[in-house]
Amino acid sequence: MSQLLALEWDQREARVAIATSRGRRVTIQDAFSVDLRPATSTDDHNADPPDVGKKIDAALAARRLARATTLVAVGRPGIELRRLSLPACPEDELPEMVRFQAIREFTTVGEEWPIDFLPLASDDETHQVLAAAIAPELVDSITQTCQTAGQRPRRLTLRPFAAASLLRRSSQPVTARIRLLVDLLTEEADLTVMLDDQVVFPRTVRLPGEPGSSQQQTALVQEIRRTMAAAQNQLGGRRVEHVFICGKGDEHAALAAKIEEEFCLSVSLFDPFAVVESSLRLTQEPPLHAGRFAPLLGMILDETDRSAGHAIDFLNPRRSREAATPRRRLAIIGGVAAVAVLLLLVSIWWMLGAANNEIAALENQLKLQKPNVTAAVADIQRAEKIQAWLDRDANWLEELREVSQNAPPAEQLMLRKMVCASHRQGGVVSVDGVVSGASITKQMSSNLRNPRHVIVPVEEGVLRGEPLAGIYRWQFVWKVIVLNDREFQASENSDTNPKK
């Protein structure tokens, strides 16, 4: 029987869950919070920050808990998280390509940053992944806190992913494909958008006021509105269909009613402890704010489920098989080379002498350098693939500048929607707008048309039945295909080029 310890903390409190596992059976033995606020008045902003590790250590000692397998959850703030699109490659090369591209695209990530990723979708041409990176300083701080508490962290996971994993394991009815999971903590709330069983848009917001206050609920509703809008844009216009709130009781029921009224959506309360097996004492005396423990319970179940595992783990990120065991590979190569040299020296010592010894030494060096050359060639090939992939994209800043300069004034044109996306020829800009007259679209089309732009009208006509019809009488929907450098050069050199 093994013992698991899951914990996380913020400015106000630390949350701890203790579990035991025997085979596939997991039992939550205890779950509690540790107050981290200073003993002085909460209005004293100059008070020293609490020593989190010492307070957790005291709470564990009071419960006579020895060292256990420790799982730590970290919130979204301080984490670099971005969706990456990569060219198709073998699965074993994907970790190195993700790391290479993340260092190029993330704003502050360096070579020493731990980087892990969650595969999203793949086809014959692309890999879509959600990459996450954490600062080494933050990892060191978390490790030091755990060591002060007498523990050594084995996992370091992202809090929203752990809570989403628990929701997937619940018996909640799954009728909606796009769901929003709301995990209300003390001063923060995790807002996690899921497509089917996959996290696609995690967001953490800081809330004003005391926990459970009307001020906090009002701010939370505003942040939910922003999250839904951002997720809708990322999901190609698809909207959140159902909201789940971690927790139970009157406080969460009032929040659920408010969200239903604001967004006209179905809202369900999600009790994290209903998903797991709990000890008799914990069942009789559950923690006061049960919803805050969803990430901890999700981490525990992920740790014991070998088929699934953790979505993101900064202490054990995904690695290529070759990169995972470099010492073993070098040891095998060195051992084989040493045996070969020894046999060679014994068999030809009496006839070749010193000259053959020198040749054997040079051959040995060549064998030792061959893996380095192979690895370097592989890195160059990965870089060339990524560069070729980037060359196929359009220069979006230049295109947006050109659209802005060639657009009519606001009294003649209003853009209702403009979406930029990748295209096999470079990029495509979908434009949905209204103008004061049909002649304005002709003028705008003439201004935008050039050898790099292919304008495809999708829909045009008189605007009817909307309040804007009095000012903007004509609506249009265009697709503008933007040729990248490769496609542009090909069109310039083709026999069908009208310039020739």
Closest CA to 115 of 321, 311, 314, 309: 314
Residue finishing a domain among 360, 391, 422: 391
Q: What residues contact residue 488 under an 8 Å CB cut-off, 6+ apart?
A: 426, 451, 452
> Tokens 């068999």 appear where?
347
> Tokens 């060219």 appear where?
87
Q: Furthest-apart CA pair in the chain: how many Å?
A: 104
d(CA 60, CA 149): 8
Closest CA to 482 of 460, 450, 444: 450
Q: Is the pLDDT of residue 106 over 70?
A: yes
Residue finishing a domain among 304, 339, 373: 304
| Same domain? 379 vs 401 | no
Q: Is the pLDDT of residue 46 over 50?
A: no
Q: Does residue 83 form part of some domain? A: no
171-186 pLDDT tens trace: 776 678 999 999 999 8
Q: Does residue 117 form part of some domain? A: no
Q: Report the pLDDT averaged over residues 397-406.
A: 83
Q: State the DSSP H helix or E strand holding residue 168, giving kind and residue range, or none if neither.
A: helix 159-169
d(CA 291, CA 277): 16
| Same domain? 364 vs 461 | no
Asked if 481 contacts 423 with a C-beta cutoff of 8 angstroms, the reply is: yes
- Looking at residue 498, its pLDDT comes to 46
Q: Does residue 319 form part of some domain? A: no
The mean predicted confidence, pLDDT, of the chain is: 85
d(CA 226, CA 231): 9
pLDDT-derived band at 329 (thresholds 50, 70, 90) equals low
Residue finishing a domain among 269, 304, 339: 304
- Looking at residue 57, its pLDDT comes to 93
Q: In terms of residue numbers, what domain contains 365?
A: 325-391
Structure-token pair, residue 186: 């003390």
- The separation between CA 138 and the C-alpha centre of its own chain, rounded to angstroms, equals 17
| Same domain? 430 vs 480 | yes
| Same domain? 30 vs 177 | yes
Q: Is the pLDDT of residue 228 over 70?
A: yes
Q: How many domains does the chain have?
A: 3
- Looking at residue 44, its pLDDT comes to 45
89-101 pLDDT tens trace: 888 888 999 998 8
Q: How far, CA to CA in Å, does 156 sit from each of 3, 163, 186, 309?
A: 17, 14, 21, 12
pLDDT-derived band at 391 (thresholds 50, 70, 90) equals low
d(CA 489, CA 484): 9
Report, in angstroms and rounded to the nearest whole number, the Rg of the chain calculated over CA atoms: 29
Q: Is the pLDDT of residue 105 over 70?
A: yes
d(CA 495, CA 14): 70
Mean pLDDT lowest for which of 102-106, 220-224, 481-485? 481-485
- The separation between CA 235 and the C-alpha centre of its own chain, rounded to angstroms, equals 15
Q: Does residue 22 form part of some domain? A: yes
Produce one character per residue of 8-34: b if its CB has 16 or more CB atoms within 10 Å, e if not. Answer: bbbebbbbbbbbbbeeeebbbbbbbbb
Structure-token pair, residue 296: 């901890």
Q: State the DSSP H helix or E strand holding residue 380, giving kind and residue range, or none if neither.
A: helix 326-391
Q: Report the pLDDT averaged over residues 66-82.
A: 88
- Looking at residue 500, its pLDDT comes to 38
| Same domain? 158 vs 220 | yes
pLDDT-derived band at 328 (thresholds 50, 70, 90) equals low
- Looking at residue 182, its pLDDT comes to 95
d(CA 394, CA 132): 25
| Same domain? 460 vs 402 | yes
- Looking at residue 179, its pLDDT comes to 94
Q: Report the pLDDT averaged over residues 198-217.
A: 89
DSSP state of 93: G
Structure-token pair, residue 386: 């990524």
The length of the chain, given as a count of residues: 500
| Same domain? 354 vs 489 | no
| Same domain? 192 vs 285 | yes
What is the Cβ-side half-sphere exposure of residue 87, based on CA atoms within 13 angstroms? 15
Q: Does residue 57 form part of some domain? A: yes
pLDDT-derived band at 43 (thresholds 50, 70, 90) equals very low
123-152 pLDDT tens trace: 778 888 999 999 999 999 999 999 999 999
Structure-token pair, residue 424: 């096999």
Q: Is the pLDDT of residue 332 over 70?
A: no
- Looking at residue 336, its pLDDT comes to 60
- Looking at residue 392, its pLDDT comes to 66
Q: Which residue has the higher pLDDT, 33 or 323?
A: 33
Share of the chain above pLDDT 90, in %: 39
Structure-token pair, residue 100: 């290479």
Q: Does residue 94 form part of some domain? A: no
Q: Report the pLDDT averaged over residues 353-381.
A: 84
- Looking at residue 383, its pLDDT comes to 83
pTM: 0.66
Q: Report the pLDDT averaged over residues 231-243.
A: 91
Q: What residues contact residue 3 under an 8 Å CB cut-off, 6+ apart?
A: 18, 19, 20, 65, 66, 68, 69
Mean pLDDT lowest for which of 16-25, 264-273, 361-370? 361-370
- Looking at residue 243, its pLDDT comes to 94
Supply the CATH number for residue 172's domain: 3.30.420.40
| Same domain? 206 vs 289 | yes
| Same domain? 300 vs 248 | yes
Mean pLDDT lowest for which of 55-59, 171-175, 340-344, 464-468? 340-344
Produce one character per residue of 440-458: b if its CB has 16 or more CB atoms within 10 Å, e if not. Answer: bbeebbeebeeebebbeee
Asked if 50 contacts 36 with a C-beta cutoff of 8 angstroms, the reply is: yes
Supply the CATH number for residue 474's domain: 3.30.1360.100
Q: Does residue 123 form part of some domain? A: no
Paired strand residues for 238: none
238-262 pLDDT tens trace: 999 999 999 988 878 989 999 999 9
Q: Does residue 271 form part of some domain? A: yes
Share of the chain above pLDDT 70, in %: 89
| Same domain? 50 vs 198 | yes
- Looking at residue 308, its pLDDT comes to 79
| Same domain? 73 vs 220 | yes
Q: Which residue has the higher pLDDT, 45 or 416?
A: 416
Closest CA to 73 of 199, 158, 161, 160: 158
- Looking at residue 323, its pLDDT comes to 46
Q: Report the pLDDT averaged over residues 342-366.
A: 76
What is the Cβ-side half-sphere exposure of residue 434, based on CA atoms within 13 angstroms? 15
